[in-house]
Structure 1
Amino acid sequence: MTIAELSIFASVMLYLLTILPAKWISARQAGRFDNSRPRDPGFYDGGIRERVLGAHQNGIEAFPFFAAAVLLAEFREAPQNLINELAVLFLIVRTAYVLTYVGNRPTLRSILWAIGFLITVAIFFLPLIRNYLPV
């Protein structure tokens, strides 16, 4: 497996692990989280739990395009080292995005979202420009 392919898995783990602390911490605090109703909207009302849910949902939304871009770039034989580097950079940016989302930093969060999206676009178009790359 390539580093980029492992980054697809890491991307899934990132959005899954984003929601886990809110549920786990709340479950330990007087049973606030009810696992029989894991999607109860009342649980996510306001504060950090609402931001964690938003970061989690955005991770789910960003994943399909990222995964498709990585696989397309690999199938169309774009430079693998560049795909790997961009995929890892995407994960770094997405991790920072989650932290700014949870930390309630909306401007920085939006900037990081845009950077992550542009990285995915770059991966997607690597096959188109591979002949022009010095790699």
Structure 2
Amino acid sequence: MSIPFWCVFIAAILIYVARVPVTKAMKEQGGYNNHQPRAQQGQLTGQGARAVAAHQNSFEAFILFAVGVLMAHTTQTQGWVIDLLAIIFIICRLIYLPLYWYDKPSQRSLVWMIGLVCSLLLMLSPVYRYWVLSTIQ
């Protein structure tokens, strides 16, 4: 499996890692309400509420990232730049989660923006491939 595909796998796992503080916060609220967990999560404050938001953001970020990797793959755009963009995205997400959990909004936004740019560049990677091939011929 290629590096970008491994990164998609890791990004999928990070969606659920983002939830770890949510469960803890729900237990502190009198126990995990398995009948209406989303209603209970809506009442969380502080770190628990930020963890819910980080979890939701992880889904949003995953979609763009996975599409970017698939666009690069289906157009056979490969190489160290694609690998590097995928790795940087994962590093950003690994940094992003604790920044969200521990309420560091400025740093979190910067890291989020870098990850978003990586996803968008992956989506544009077929253009790079076209430019490189057209300049060679």
- 1:39 partner SS: helix
Correspondence list, 1:21-36, <5 A: 21-24=21-24, 26-27=26-27, 29=28, 31-36=30-35
Q: 2: distance between equivalents of 1:12 and 1:125?
A: 22
Q: State the Cα deviation string for residues 84-110 of structure 1 (Å, max 9, x = none).
A: 221111010011111111110111111
Q: Percent identity?
A: 30
Output the amino acid matched with 2:19: I
Q: Which residue of 2 aligns with 1:53?
A: 52
Q: 2: distance between equivalents of 1:21 and 1:46?
A: 12
Q: Which residue of 2 aligns with 1:15?
A: 15
Q: CA deviation at 1:3?
A: 1.4
Count of aligned positions:
132
Correspondence list, 1:89-128, <5 A: 89-128=88-127
Unaligned runs of 5+ in 1: none
**Contact 2:68/2:123 (8 A) holds in 1:** yes
Task: Assess, with a 3 A threshold, how the Cα gap between structure 1 residues 63 and 40 changes in structure 2: closer, same or farther.
Answer: same
Runs of 4+ residues deviating >6 angstroms? none
Correspondence list, 1:46-85, <5 A: 46-85=45-84
Output the amino acid matched with 1:4: P
- 2:37 partner SS: coil
Q: CA deviation at 1:25?
A: 6.3
What TM-score do the two structures reach when normalised by structure 1? 0.86
Q: CA deviation at 1:10?
A: 0.9
Q: CA deviation at 1:30?
A: 7.7
Q: 1: distance between equivalents of 2:4 and 2:64?
A: 14
- 1:40 partner SS: helix
**C-alpha root-mean-square deviation of aligned residues, in Å?**
2.1
Q: 2: distance between equivalents of 1:21 and 1:49?
A: 6
Q: CA deviation at 1:128?
A: 0.6
